[in-house]
A and B are shown apart, each in its own frame.
Chain A
Amino acid sequence: AQSVAQPEDQVNVAEGNPLTVKCTYSVSGNPYLFWYVQYPNRGLQFLLKYITGDNLVKGSYGFEAEFNKSQTSFHLKKPSALVSDSALYFCAVRDGGSGTYKYIFGTGTRLKVLA
Chain B
Amino acid sequence: DAGITQSPRHKVTETGTPVTLRCHQTENHRYMYWYRQDPGHGLRLIHYSYGVKDTDKGEVSDGYSVSRSKTEDFLLTLESATSSQTSVYFCAISGGLADTYEQYFGPGTRLTVT
Contacts and interface: CB of A to CB of B under 8 A. Distances in A.
A102 B61 CA distance: 13
Classify chain A's interface size.
Answer: 20 to 34
Interface in A35-62: 36, 41-46, 49, 51
A92 B33 CA distance: 14
Judged by DSSP, the binding face of B is strand
Contact of A45 (B42, B94, B105): B105
A90 B95 CA distance: 20
B43 A90 contact: yes
A105 B38 CA distance: 12
B16 to A, nearest CB: 29
Contacts, number: 60
Nearest to A107: B42
A46 B59 contact: no
Interface in B58-93: 58-59, 90, 92
Contacts of B58: 102
A61 to B, nearest CB: 15
A104 B59 contact: yes
B31 A101 contact: yes
Interface of A: 6, 32, 34, 36, 41-46, 49, 51, 90, 92, 94, 101-108
Interface of B: 31, 33, 35, 40-45, 48, 50, 56, 58-59, 90, 92, 94-95, 100-108
* Nearest 4 CB-CB pairings of A with B: A43-B105, A107-B42, A105-B43, A44-B105
